[in-house]
A and B are shown apart, each in its own frame.
Chain A
């Protein structure tokens, strides 16, 4: 496991309560959980690898397959579905030539379905590389280039004439009140500046 992730995990207290935050911190930095990462985390907590794998497979957030360089997640919670979210997903699947949950053959883009990002009043919502975009226009499909070359082209095709809400969280120093909350900001600072780390930094708060 790469040094930033490894050194961060090494600082977690070895109590079991830190196992889930440690796995989350590793995914924040590396973008997924490789078998080496699972083994390293299990070793730190002095647990069998099966315990770390059990937690990793218990939550759908953890990726055990390396994703593409960019991540597009389309919310298909009920409010987004009623306002066109499912259409967005189908359109992107057709244009990218992949099904939801898959990565393009050149490893550039992974398309996922998100089960409710809880921004229902801004439906339909798209999350692109950690940034959420609300009220994405329903007529986007016709304007998408085939295939979409980048998340930016997906967004520019889908944006309304009026402003759509965008917010990006920049890493901030976390409060020193416990290991879990502070680790998020440290994971953000440790994220690599290019490749996978580019979007995983935007995930962190």
Chain B
């Protein structure tokens, strides 16, 4: 709820979980006395109640305008626990999926399970399979591409900052499937906060033996290195990312060899994003709802990170969840932030979120463009698509 700061979460035994939004410093004394001073309704404060019926005048999640159209599966813990804490993560089900995988699933089982979860998951799991089938004596690597350098995308940072233990759990599951024992997590240089949270979460996971040798008593050992990429690095491109880790000049290859076969230092390398990894624990736990995380920004009333089910349209995202453009300005289009920027006109607003990949593969963000302000570089190149 990036537009709603300051956001305060309240957890008290016997109460439902509450999130208050738009609090100011001056309002805190009044708010505290209203909260704990009795049973009076709290309608003069903005907030949401994380149950089905609401509480003391606060709307239930299903009736809150920002959350009503969302289904938060991957982000279910973001904002509700101490992000770095391993205790909080485990108490809310963290690492249970990993334990299940290590206890009674083979890497091939994991690959088949993930392949069944949609086209993106199929592509990822296929990459793991190729890496697995590479020469058994060759060390292989798992590189996490946390660069996320495109304008309008900030979901990976949110996941690293909001639930880093989930990201690490997903990484362990993916690496187990791919048969790799070493990972390098490459984080965008500007994402200092993300690096800090992930580094502290990693330290706690290592101290507890969840990352290291013979994890949870299994034969699976795994070691992780964190790196901060140089700021502004055009590192979304995989070959450039690998060369930068090697310490070479980062130049894209004209005829690149596929990384699962020939990657980092010529060894089989799986490259994955943060969002892909964070989505894995729910998949293993049989929560089969297919959701998609997107960043919504630009001059909208409610920018932020949203997680919606397949079938949600762009129109719902822009005008229900994000509440349209500020000052009710007309919308000229929406920029789909992905590897290639694509400007979609309002005629395409009934497209669903899963069809965004047809416009820009791996799209992760939407930037609403007010009338008359479309960037000049998009129109002349004729990238406007009307369907």
Contact = CB atoms under 8 A, between A and B. Distances in A.
A122 B152 CA distance: 11
B189 A61 contact: yes
A205 B199 contact: yes
A58 B247 CA distance: 11
A168 to B, nearest CB: 10
Interface string B169-213: 000000000000000000011111101100110110010000000
Contacts, number: 151
B299 interface: yes
Nearest to B337: A78
Contacts of A204: 192
A33 B124 CA distance: 39
Given A61-B189, A169-B193, A78 B335 contact: yes
Nearest to A120: B297
A120 B303 contact: yes
Interface stretch (A1-9, A96-104, A175-183): A175-183
Given A19-B247, A83-B299, A120 B192 contact: no
Contact of B24 (A54, A77, A163, A169): A163
A121 B3 contact: yes
A58 B367 contact: no
Contacts of B375: 78, 81
A139 interface: no
B160 to A, nearest CB: 11
Contact of A82 (B149, B157, B246, B369): B369
Contacts of A184: 195, 228
A60 B249 contact: no
A165 B3 CA distance: 10
A96 B30 CA distance: 43
Nearest to B322: A121
A114 B228 CA distance: 17
Nearest to B191: A118
A17 interface: yes
Contacts of A61: 189, 230-233
A184 B196 CA distance: 10
Contacts of B24: 162-163
A177 B196 contact: no
Given A17-B247, A116-B151, A122-B2, A78 B228 contact: no
B202 A177 contact: yes
B81 interface: no
Interface in B33-89: none
B290 interface: no
Interface in A112-158: 114-123
Contact of A24 (B203, B228, B250): B228
Interface residues of A, number: 47
A61 B150 CA distance: 16
B154 interface: yes
Contacts of A121: 2-3, 154, 295-297, 303-305
B244 A78 contact: no
A172 B151 contact: no
Contact of A205 (B195, B249, B303): B195
Given A24-B228, A24-B230, A180-B228, A118 B157 contact: yes
B297 A177 contact: no
Contacts of A116: 149-151
Interface in A157-205: 162-163, 165, 167, 169, 172, 174-175, 177-178, 180-181, 184, 203-205
A20 B230 CA distance: 8
A141 B209 CA distance: 54
B148 interface: yes
Interface of B: 2-3, 5-6, 24-25, 148-154, 157, 188-193, 195-196, 199-200, 202-203, 206, 223-228, 230-233, 244-250, 295-299, 303-305, 335, 365, 367, 369-370, 373, 375
The 4 A-B pairs at the shortest CB distance, nearest first, are namely: A121-B2, A120-B297, A178-B225, A121-B303
Interface of A: 15-21, 24, 54-55, 58-62, 77-79, 81-83, 114-123, 162-163, 165, 167, 169, 172, 174-175, 177-178, 180-181, 184, 203-205
13 contacts: A17-B245, A19-B247, A20-B230, A54-B249, A59-B232, A78-B375, A114-B190, A114-B232, A115-B232, A121-B154, A121-B296, A123-B297, A165-B5
Given A79-B152, A116-B149, A162-B24, 11 more contacts: A24-B228, A61-B232, A77-B152, A78-B375, A83-B299, A118-B190, A120-B295, A120-B365, A121-B297, A121-B303, A175-B226
